[in-house]
Amino acid sequence: MKYFGTDGIRGKAEIFTSEFITKIVAGLVEYAGDNIKVLLGGDTRESTEWILTDFESALETFGIEFSNAGVLPTPAINYCFYNMGFDFAIDVTASHNPYMDNGIKIFERGDNSGKKLCEKGCEIIEAALDSEKTYALVSPTLREDLHEEALNLYKEHLATYLGEANLNGLRIALDCANGATSVIGDSIFKEFGAETELINADGNYGKKINANCGSTHLESLVSLVQTNQLDLGIAFDGDGDRCLLVDEKGEIVDGDEIIAILANSLNLDKIAVTVMANQGLLNWAKDNNIETEITAVGDSNVAAAMREKDIKLGGEQSGHIILPNEPTGDGILTSLMILKTISKSGKSLKELKSIIKKYPQVILNMEATPETKEALKTSEEAKKILLAYDKKLESVSGRLLVRPSGTENLIRITMWGNDEEEIATLANELKNELKRSLT
């Protein structure tokens, strides 16, 4: 698609002009009609505030009933719109991207929960965005602010899902990425008895979101855990739909390890992961007779496979974890489930993650225009280069994945193998060859 990537529409904030936003609403109306109710919300980046205001004007122009929940994590918006009786949610966020970017995620009602807008809906909105039609906007009337109601409803959901859990004695650090999870702060963790140290929790609209913090920059969290000798650290991304962990020794625990820990503790026999999954996770699943469904990158692809194959747990290495009976990733709920597992088992996070032996892995990003990304798919020379490196990786029992990013102007190169130095060398060689071939 031209505008929708693997996780909604995303780009530099300036693309979200009032005209662009109005056409998104026009497409939504064409898809669903005008007798709908929409819940708005978003993260903390400075552009989110004015984009939400423009959405209010556009919805008012089309006579759509709406309310604004303000800053909330993406999973909270998805949970609350469905349970508060709205038909759609529009979440203004660019997830882990820097503050200069923004985006939207649109959720619609599924059978039992909210789900990301279907392909047909996306196609209709894309057609509206390319339309030459213009609209005269009207100013929105004052609407009810549902922030506190939605936040409390989401907190109740977390407590209900977790059930009986005693986190007394656990000392944890939370890095909220100056993003949407800042509105939760550490309150839910403290309610279950954990002792918390909170960093990067500015919930105001601004420029701090994801800036050298959160799940994309774990250095400060690692330092805090080690310096204060905490049991673990939890890092969220800007919109809170994923998390990464740091164990008591300061070692990073990623989504593959989280999936293994939860699959083991919940005694599950099937998991869904993407092609980005570490070979160590795949080997562990095979050795333990756990059926593994491998999907394309993107939590929506994982969620679709889980629904189709009746799989209770799935996710991505990046920390998007979809838990049993949950429609999408939720960083806060995932981390609470890990804490519950630690408490019940009496084991440390380092002990729990040791059930899998990860293969060395190298990930390189190559800047790429949309034309370059397309050339990667069609170039015969690029195909020959990739085949050659597949062959080279046989000597280290390796595996290769090269793909255009669905959210950024990048081509991502990932290599796995049993010799870290060798795959690092091969990955850099491949990056240089692809640059020469495609640009």
In eight-state DSSP terms, residue 143 is -
- Please give the pLDDT value at position 406: 76
The tokens describing 380, both together, are 């015969």
Instruction: List the beta bridge partners of residue 232.
Output: 172
Least Cα distance to 320 among 126, 171, 116, 24 occurs for 116
HSE (side-chain half, CA atoms, 13 Å) at 96: 21
Which helix (H) or strand (E) segment is 331 a member of?
helix 331-345
What is the C-alpha to C-alpha distance for residues 347 and 69, in angstroms, rounded to an integer?
A: 39
Least Cα distance to 257 among 169, 111, 122, 361 occurs for 361
Q: With beta carbons less than 8 A apart as the criterion, state whether 273 and 297 touch.
A: no
- Please give the pLDDT value at position 10: 95
Q: With beta carbons less than 8 A apart as the criterion, state whether 302 and 274 touch.
A: yes
What is the C-alpha to C-alpha distance for residues 389 and 130, in angstroms, rounded to an integer?
A: 40
**95 has catalytic annotation:** yes
- Please give the pLDDT value at position 103: 97
Antiparallel, parallel or unpaired: β 171-175 and 195-199:
parallel
What is the C-alpha to C-alpha distance for residues 157 and 205, in angstroms, rounded to an integer?
A: 26
Which helix (H) or strand (E) segment is 410 a member of?
strand 410-416
- What does each C-alpha distance from 133 to 19, 29, 101, 112, 136 come to in angstroms? 10, 14, 26, 36, 10
Cα–chain-centroid distance for residue 239? 8
What is the C-alpha to C-alpha distance for residues 78 and 63, in angstroms, rounded to an integer?
A: 23
Which helix (H) or strand (E) segment is 287 a member of?
helix 279-287
Q: Catalytic one among 47, 95, 300, 343?
A: 95
What is the C-alpha to C-alpha distance for residues 95 and 366, in angstroms, rounded to an integer?
A: 20
- Please give the pLDDT value at position 357: 92
Q: What angle do CA 308, 312, 316 make, to 5 degrees?
A: 90
- Please give the pLDDT value at position 327: 92
- Please give the pLDDT value at position 106: 98
**Residues in CB range of 156: below 8 A, 6 or more apart:** none
In eight-state DSSP terms, residue 118 is P
Least Cα distance to 177 among 200, 196, 205 occurs for 200
Least Cα distance to 31 among 100, 106, 103 occurs for 106
- Please give the pLDDT value at position 121: 97
What is the C-alpha to C-alpha distance for residues 285 and 295, in angstroms, rounded to an integer?
A: 15
What is the C-alpha to C-alpha distance for residues 146 and 151, in angstroms, rounded to an integer?
A: 8
Task: Tally Cβ neighbours within 10 Å of residue 11.
Answer: 19
Task: Tally Cβ neighbours within 10 Å of residue 409.
Answer: 15
Least Cα distance to 38 among 19, 17, 61, 18 occurs for 61
CA 211, 212, 217, 221 torsion: positive or negative?
A: negative
Instruction: List the beta bridge partners of residue 400.
Output: 415
Return the SS3 of 200: coil
What is the C-alpha to C-alpha distance for residues 151 and 184, in angstroms, rounded to an integer?
A: 8
Stated pTM of the model: 0.90
Least Cα distance to 118 among 4, 37, 29 occurs for 4
What is the C-alpha to C-alpha distance for residues 38 and 428, in angstroms, rounded to an integer?
A: 47
Least Cα distance to 181 among 100, 235, 225, 113 occurs for 235
Amino acid 106 reads I
**Rounded mean pLDDT for each run of 10 residues along the chain, 439 residues in total:** 90 96 98 97 97 96 96 97 98 96 97 93 97 89 88 96 93 98 93 96 96 97 98 98 97 98 98 94 96 92 94 96 96 98 97 94 92 91 93 89 86 92 94 91
What is the C-alpha to C-alpha distance for residues 155 and 197, in angstroms, rounded to an integer?
A: 19
